[in-house]
Amino acid sequence: MLQFMIRRVGWSLLTIWLISLVCFFIIQAPPGDFVSVLMANAEADGRRLTAQQVEVLRERYNLDQPWYSQYWAWISGIITQGDFGYSFRWNRPAVDVIMEHLPFTLLLAGGAMFLTWIIAFAIGIYTAVKRYSIGDYFWTFVGFIGLSVPNFVLALVFMYVAFRYFDMSVGGLFSPEYVEADWSVARALDLLQNLAIPALIIATAGTAGLIRITRANLSDELTQPYVVAARARGQKENVLLMRYPVRAAMNPFISTIGYAIPSVISGEVIVSSVLSLPTTGPVLLGALRNQDMYLAGSFLLILGVLTVVGTVISDLVLAWADPRVRRQHSGAAQ
């Protein structure tokens, strides 16, 4: 188990470095840079930057250097000083801009993951036990709808229904009177109240997929010889279901830990823009549009690190929870 952990951590560090390189290269790939965006905006306003001004700006933002020099300055600053670079658009350190919006993003992601797991686990068990029933067909249909309808479309539908029939707004995470208010119990409760609908919208796609996975795994476990033998010995159905097959069907949930948070964070980008949520999604879109490379690169790097760390955690939890996985890794190590 120890060798497995060391091996996973080593590969994770290599993966994080490759992610940083790929992220920086992708951001550099489109033609132009941040100064090009400034020039286009100036021309749209009827102004024109001189060649000297453009040269000064590129030198100021270190854009006159080759991409590998810019990458080395960025990644070495992160490793040695924890400096993720400077946001051109916000004129602030990139990490400050991200951390200003990241708590709301993690809160929204946590709420969406909680709803995903609770709903998918309950419905997955029901559809596996009641296979080919009316309820199974109904929830299967709902699952396909959840997989096929984009989240931003659901957000627009919720906004229309809420405003048209209930005279309420689902945009933002705070009611108008709490937007600029200091933190208090009332403001925290208002945040939780306004968090429910965005979390439900974002959780829809993940819930539909996990329902199908749980149903398939649990249905397979229910046909195993040990389940048939336990039933023949008179084991109560509820006790048998929760003690053995459900535990085996939990593996897919554990496996989703690795990509759940990054998937939810990346999935909320468009939803947050539609619902005007103060998360990192609109910030990332703005950084990509304006070629704010250090802000966009830092955000993507943090997302990649969350993915890698989550994958390592899911592997370790899965090895702890499932003896078969432990034996498999022990055998591979030998």
Go through the chain and tell me how many residues it has. 334
| Number of neighbours of residue 188 by Cβ within 10 angstroms | 11
For the chain, how big is the Rg over CA atoms in Å? 25
If we measure between CA atoms, which residue out of 89, 101, 93, 113 comes closest to residue 33?
A: 89
Q: Tell me the pTM.
A: 0.77
Domain 100-293 CATH (choose: 2.40.50, 1.10.3720, 2.60.40, 1.10.3470)? 1.10.3720
Per-residue pLDDT of the chain (334 residues; tens, 9 = 90+): 667 667 777 788 888 888 888 888 877 777 777 788 778 777 777 788 788 888 888 887 777 788 888 888 888 888 888 888 888 888 888 888 888 888 888 888 888 888 888 888 888 888 888 888 898 889 888 888 877 888 888 888 888 888 888 777 777 788 878 877 888 888 888 888 888 888 888 888 778 778 888 888 888 888 888 888 888 888 787 777 777 788 777 776 677 666 666 777 777 788 888 888 888 888 888 888 888 888 888 888 888 888 888 777 777 777 776 666 656 655 555 5
Domain ranges within the chain, ordered by starting residue: 100-293
What 3-state class would DSSP assign to 150?
A: coil
87 has which bridge partners?
92
CB neighbour list of residue 217: distance below 8 Å, 6 or more residues apart? 248, 249, 251, 252
What is the full DSSP assignment across 182-240? PP-HHHHHHHHHHHHHHHHHHHHHHHHHHHHHHHHHHHHHTTSHHHHHHHHTT--HHHH
